[in-house]
């Protein structure tokens, strides 16, 4: 960031992403914070076009809804000062990344962090944007490890729980020593609860939360993989996949939010995913909602969807 940057700050400053990455990062650089109380696609469009905004950071849902708004209302893309766009807070899928980059005319950078790690663990480099949906390289001074279910470090490319160690890791949860011991090992490794794999070049890929993992007929189903397939449909704005317990097993259920004036039906979405997913990954049911439940950050609240089931 530079002192002449204007940063569109729509992420809540009560959340670590908005507070540390957006607010403190901008102030440290001497940049201007353009604060706004809530996300509204039309307000973002006007700010990018007319208010000299040069940096826009958000969660994937914000980028998806801005693109939908432009298409629905026939607005041309105009952001004459925009030089950096970033996604974080939720998994980024390839279809959205490609769409954003084609419209914005800029790379969509990506990163990963959490409150307990202050927050950033990894991010894509400004001078080396990636063509995949990796959350980039681990930042200097931070260590990561990927641990399999057997407690042994996974080989490059294998999926396991991500551990993080470094001066960025919290000392503990306030007045909760039991939860602290469960989250941070004696030798300082933070158990993130996120499932990840690391490429041989060091790039990290987040594949989901361990608590969201669906086990279907003995096979692991990572919701993000199914969501990426559904999100690739041109009439789907965003989706969320969860597991539903059935006798002796678990099945996959998908919730989708459709674009305005969409004509696709749940049955057509079921047919859409048949060719693109292995049988055990295919949703048993696709439910359409007017809007997926989301936090103030834009992150989808999957526990609310579980309550719906």
Cα 209–Cα 308–Cα 254 angle in degrees, nearest 5: 55
Do 10 and 99 lie in one domain? The reply is: yes
Instruction: Look at strands 84-87 and 160-165 and give their pairing.
Output: unpaired
What's 75's domain CATH number? 3.40.50.980
DSSP string for 193-212:
EEEEEE-TTS-EEEEEEGGG
pLDDT at 296 over 90: no
Do 14 and 96 lie in one domain? The reply is: yes
Do 98 and 157 lie in one domain? The reply is: no
Do 200 and 230 lie in one domain? The reply is: no
Residue 56, helix vs strand vs coil? strand
- State which residues form the domain around 300: 213-308
Domain count, the chain: 3
Q: Calculate the alpha carbon distances from 266 to 66, 147, 284 in Å.
A: 24, 37, 11
Do 197 and 229 lie in one domain? The reply is: no
Residue 132 within any structural domain of the chain: no
- Prior bond of 119 cis (ω within 30°): yes
pLDDT value at position 271? Answer: 86
Distance separating alpha carbons of residues 63 and 68, to the nearest angstrom: 9
Do 228 and 300 lie in one domain? The reply is: yes
Residue 31 within any structural domain of the chain: yes
Lowest mean pLDDT among 29-38, 140-149, 212-221, 250-259: 212-221
| pLDDT > 70: percent of the chain | 100
Q: Which residues are within 8 A (CB) of 235 and not within 5 positions of it... i.e. 6 or more apart?
A: 258, 259, 262, 263, 264
Do 35 and 102 lie in one domain? The reply is: yes
């Amino acid at each position: 960031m530079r002192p002449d940057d204007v940063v569109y700050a729509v992420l809540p400053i009560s959340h670590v992403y908005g507070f540390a990455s957006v607010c403190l990062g901008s102030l440290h650089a001497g940049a201007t914070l353009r604060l706004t109380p809530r996300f509204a696609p039309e307000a973002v469009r006007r700010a990018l076009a007319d208010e000299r905004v040069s940096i826009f950071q958000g969660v994937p849902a914000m980028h998806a809804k801005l693109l939908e708004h432009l298409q629905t209302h026939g607005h041309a893309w105009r952001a004459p000062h925009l030089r950096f766009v970033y996604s974080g807070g939720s998994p980024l899928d390839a279809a959205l990344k490609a769409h954003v980059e084609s419209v914005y005319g800029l790379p969509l950078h990506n990163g990963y962090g959490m409150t307990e790690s202050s927050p950033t663990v990894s991010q894509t480099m400004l001078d080396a944007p990636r063509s995949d949906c990796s959350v980039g390289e681990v930042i200097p001074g931070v260590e990561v490890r990927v641990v399999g279910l057997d407690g042994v470090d996974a080989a490059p490319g294998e999926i396991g729980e991500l551990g993080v160690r470094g001066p960025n890791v919290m000392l503990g949860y306030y007045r909760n020593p039991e939860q602290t011991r469960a989250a941070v090992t004696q030798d300082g490794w933070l158990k993130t609860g996120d499932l990840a794999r690391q490429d041989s070049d060091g790039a990290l890929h987040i594949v989901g939360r361990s608590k969201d993992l669906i086990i279907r007929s003995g096979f692991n189903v990572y919701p993000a993989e199914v969501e990426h397939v559904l999100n690739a449909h041109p009439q789907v704005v965003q989706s969320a996949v969860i597991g539903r317990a059935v006798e002796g097993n678990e099945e996959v259920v998908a919730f989708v939010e459709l674009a305005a004036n969409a004509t696709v039906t749940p049955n057509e979405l079921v047919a859409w995913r048949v060719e693109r997913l292995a049988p055990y990954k295919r949703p048993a049911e696709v439910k359409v909602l007017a809007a997926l439940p989301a936090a103030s950050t834009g992150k989808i609240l999957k526990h609310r969807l579980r309550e719906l089931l």
